Amino acid sequence: MLNSGEAEKLLLEEKEEAVRLEKRKQRIDEAIDVSPALNNCFFHAYALHLLSNQHAFPPGLFDLTEFDGTHVVTLKERLHDDRVLQEELTTAATPDYLFEKTLILGILLRSWFCTQLFHSETARDALFEFKGETYNGDIRAFTFLRMVSEYQDALFTPVLKARSLVQDFKNKLPTLQQLLDLSVDVPNNVFIALKQLPNIIEASIATLETDEKNSSNPISPLEKSKQVLKKLLDVLDDAQKELKATDTHELLNDFINEAKAELNFNLAAEQQNFVRTFERKYEDFPIYLGNKAFFNEALANTDLESIKTYWHKEGYENFCRFLNLSNTKISYADVDPILANLVPYAIYSENGAVLVCDTIPFLELMLKLNEGHYKLLTNPRTIELLQHYPLQQKHYLQNREALLAQKRVAEELIKETLFVEALIPEDKDNNSNLVEVLLEDEGINSLPVELFIPENNKVNPLDALIKNLPKFLDKLKEKMGRTPQTEEVGPSTSGEQKEHLPSETPESPIHSGDGINLLSLTEVGEQRDPLSVSVGVSTSEIQEHPDEVRENINPENLNNAKLQHFYQQLVQLEQKAKEFKAKENQSLDYKRAAEATGALYDKLHRAFNDFVKNPNEKAFELFSQQSLAAIQKHQPALERHRKEYGQLKQIIGNIVLAIVGIGIFYGAALMINRAVNGRYFFFAPKTAQDVSKIEKMIPEIAPENKSTF
């Protein structure tokens, strides 16, 4: 029973979560619906995220890989040695050609991710069996081992069904005994046979229980189950033949007929129904599709070690190669082992529910679970560029509709939107099916009834894109030779049908004293979910002063264990920074690690020193924001130093735990959504689990303050 204080606290939490959920839903409504062309919507969203945040694309994006097909090789060969074009493709100082750039980058990112996956043993093991915590609906749980286990369950359905049927028959034995006792002149051999049924039933149940998921049994589950039921049916058949000869035991005959009808069950059809259900469930999962031949009846007799051996030797490569194929539908779960090391991210469902969420997600996507389609959530920093993407996409879709309906000359439409043919699905031979697909595709509400694609006009989308690539690169070079005076939106080709949008710069959160006025998405922009709570701290308060001399902290002045614990972790970080500094001449990796660790230590030291001068709830808010911002800024650079990052990761995780402890001590921690118990990107696994169980968490830095670090 909750006391009044606990009940009030719980009610406040629920209200805060309801506010966060509504704001998240509003952001989802305003999210950018990226193109599903070539089934690259996930990569299109990630490309837009990098472009709009002015983040660097991964190194080696233009390098040839062992997985690249003819089209991708052609694309990369045209770009590999042209650093200027590479730079233009991977940046977006203006919105020119944003839609076209995203299409090309989507192809390159697919190739890059698949190659990174293939060469990562960590990714291989994570996709074999996911051992992290998940939210409801998180499809990372659907790994190869889980699929195999579910398929084996389907194969063993006959065993479970047969056991259920035999158990039901066993429950009816008292009725059979009564009929035998009441019957007169029952042939002795019938009486003896029916009296043996209890022993036969017990043996049958024991056999079926032993055979359930017994991979060492050489007989298939279906055949074994059929044999068990047949043995019972044979006893009943023999008894019934003797009874019919006397023609005087109607009730006993009726009982046997009913029992035979129940035991004579179509186990093969039952098994097939479950197998088909499994196939429908995973029909869009590359892990299954790339290894479809492995899922057969022989899997019933395959043990765990053999399954793991197959995955290591063949299955994982099959998955990577299938994922790399153009037009293969991809999900965040397929690339999570790589993506999670690149950027903290969150995936939300259409109704705002959290599917995946790092502590402070930089990349936020909405996933339509039934379609596997993504939308990219915006924030104040990205909206200025991203608002142009829907206009460019709309122009492309209008031209696609005109092209399919033959309303205008194809050459004109292609010249105006060079990659328009790449937006036409390639595997729809039936025109009526194509209309259906396009109506669902990209939010199109209507298509002309005269839509028809002649056979000789059907083009492979990737062929179409590569065919017009030289023309696009020429246009890109033309753009690079000039400095636009205005930003271009609408049609993505330069100089044609330019349209301008008013600049909508979201306002910063409005604060009144220590209180917070909750603003709409349009006003506040991105308030990070699910841990986001605005605090009354201005950018000027958080801004560092790097030229100031760092003051020393006297540990004897730290008057409680929480402060002392944080200081101990800070000392460990300082020691690590000194170790890196001593090795910085050994390699560039050590030099970068020394710089990042030193900068992180310096910022944490300054923030902590300011806090301990006057430790209170308000000061903690500033201290926690500064600390998390510093960790968030320098953690990616530290991750790249793989030789030493394991120990460093634990130190950083302990620092965050120490901050949480300080917040709880001073009563300054903010309650988080009780459902939040997921991954924390800068923690070692054990630390992440500890943090997940903590009910209070420090407030997240407001987006507008992140750039000050």
Arithmetic mean of pLDDT over the chain: 78
How many percent of the chain have pLDDT more than 90? 43
3-class SS letters over 100-119: HHHHHHHHHHHHHHHHHHHC
pLDDT of residue 689: 43
Q: What is the largest CA-CA distance in the chain?
A: 110
Q: Residue 513: helix, strand or coil by DSSP?
A: coil
Residue 426 has pLDDT above 90, yes or no: no
CA pair distance 492, 603, nearest whole angstrom: 43
pLDDT of residue 191: 82
CA pair distance 130, 24, nearest whole angstrom: 27
pLDDT of residue 367: 95
CA pair distance 271, 238, nearest whole angstrom: 29
Tell me the pLDDT tens digit for each residue of 597-631: 888 999 999 998 888 888 888 888 888 888 888 88
Mean pLDDT of 361-371: 92
Name the residue ranges covered by the structural domains of the chain: 24-138+321-386, 156-263, 394-480, 531-706
Which of 199, 196, 194, 200 has its CA nearest to residue 249?
194
Exposed e or buried b for every residue in 215-227, given b needs 16+ CB within 10 A? eebeebbbebbbe
Residue 32 has pLDDT above 90, yes or no: yes
pLDDT of residue 507: 31
CA pair distance 72, 421, nearest whole angstrom: 17
How many percent of the chain have pLDDT more than 70? 75
pLDDT of residue 351: 92
> Which residue matches tokens 């039952």?
270
pLDDT of residue 433: 46
Neighbours of 553 (CB within 10 A): 17
Residues 6+ apart with CB under 8 A from 55: 49
pLDDT band at 427 (very low <50, low <70, confident <90, very high): low
Residues 6+ apart with CB under 8 A from 564: 555, 558
Tell me the pLDDT tens digit for each residue of 206-226: 888 876 555 566 688 999 999
pLDDT of residue 639: 66
Tell me the pLDDT tens digit for each residue of 320-343: 999 999 889 999 999 999 999 999
Q: Of residues 63 and 703, which shows the higher confidence score? A: 63
* 101, burial (CB in 10 Å: exposed 0-12, middle 13-18, buried 19+): buried
pLDDT band at 434 (very low <50, low <70, confident <90, very high): very low
pLDDT of residue 323: 96
pLDDT of residue 225: 93
Question: Which two tokens mark 322?
Answer: 């299938």
Pairing of strands 363-368, 345-348: parallel
In contact, 480 and 84? CB cutoff 8 Å: yes
Q: Of residues 89 and 238, which shows the higher confidence score? A: 89
The mean-pLDDT minimum among 21-25, 302-306, 544-548 falls in 544-548
